[in-house]
A = this chain, B = another copy of it.
């Protein structure tokens, strides 16, 4: 059960409600939503009469939510969550197009890419400064120097920056430079990190783990929401299945309409990681848009074959430009724009 307090509820009223439910054996979990206190019940207490609770001073509404995730569900918030970053309203008719290199490698590489994707129609710049790599011997990113280059590219192009943060203690640093904090697939259940970005005031791009169910993804988002940060983009980026001969992952296109049904949060598709094969990124981008995605995150690089990471799945800048034209046409067909 979740208890929504009046925006004007007093601290004493809130404390009374908490004391009442705790007296029946429940633990409580408080967060605020647009200035309202939300009290979530957890654990295994005795049954509580919602009518009685609804009569207590300061209580606006009680909700009986049976799903494991609460704040992220359509039950809790039927209308779409939208939020504006730079010129783009995420979750609106306009698709968010996030493009850029896998890793920030150099000033030249980044600026050339940023200008090119901007011109082609991208509305965000992506680029990794801290890179999660399977091998300790692989390039691990430029660190803060990479963040500074991203900020410089934002200055030069006006594109807001999406970049990954890998540990809770780096959230303050990355937040100085980034417009959107990205949580990578391998960290989807790094709960201390989810708590840290939940407490920050930055929008979050949360990638689905490679073996996470749609429900697991919703539970991860719930950690962020429970700390009061609701500016979250969920990101489908391919799951791990038995078929890995030709592709790195299996892009779960079905997750897009499924998530849009169960949550109010916007959904971004990552075809680059979703399949890991450059020459089919275009087909999967169009499929994701046709399935209803609110945006795309695509890797592009001036010279993918010499990229320090993920070159196999990065588009050339020319390929990205061509793809953007196709995306616009398909988007308009279904009543969206980009």
Interface residues of A (CB under 8 A from B): 29, 40, 42-43, 68-70, 132-139, 166-170, 186-187, 189-193, 209-211, 213-216, 219, 222-223, 226, 239-247, 250-254, 256-258, 261-262, 274-275, 277, 279-280, 283-284, 286-292, 326, 329-330, 333-334
Contact = CB atoms under 8 A, between A and B. Distances in A.
B245 A43 contact: no
Contact of A258 (B132, B134, B247, B326): B247
Contact of A254 (B219, B226, B275): B275
A135 B222 contact: yes
For the complex of A and B, list the 8 residue pairs with the smallest distance between their C-beta atoms, beginning with the closest.
A211-B211, A42-B137, A186-B189, A290-B290, A167-B192, A287-B287, A257-B283, A286-B290
A276 to B, nearest CB: 10
A245 B211 CA distance: 13
Nearest to A138: B42
Given A242-B213, A243-B214, A250-B241, A191 B132 contact: yes
A136 B29 contact: yes
A42 B186 CA distance: 23
Number of copies: 4
B193 A137 contact: no
A224 to B, nearest CB: 9
A321 B262 CA distance: 26
A240 B242 CA distance: 6
13 contacts: A42-B137, A135-B219, A136-B219, A137-B226, A168-B168, A186-B189, A187-B190, A209-B211, A239-B242, A240-B242, A256-B283, A289-B290, A290-B290
Contacts of A169: 167-169
Nearest to A288: B287
A36 B260 CA distance: 53
A211 B214 contact: no
Given A134-B216, A136-B222, 20 more contacts: A70-B137, A137-B226, A167-B167, A186-B189, A187-B190, A213-B245, A239-B243, A242-B244, A244-B244, A250-B250, A251-B252, A251-B253, A253-B287, A257-B284, A283-B291, A287-B290, A287-B291, A289-B290, A290-B290, A290-B330
Contact of A189 (B70, B132, B215): B132
A254 B251 contact: yes
A193 B170 CA distance: 12
A326 B222 CA distance: 35
A240 B254 contact: no
Most chain B Cβ neighbours within 10 Å, of A29, A68, A258, A277: A258
B166 A191 contact: yes
Nearest to A250: B252
A209 B209 CA distance: 11
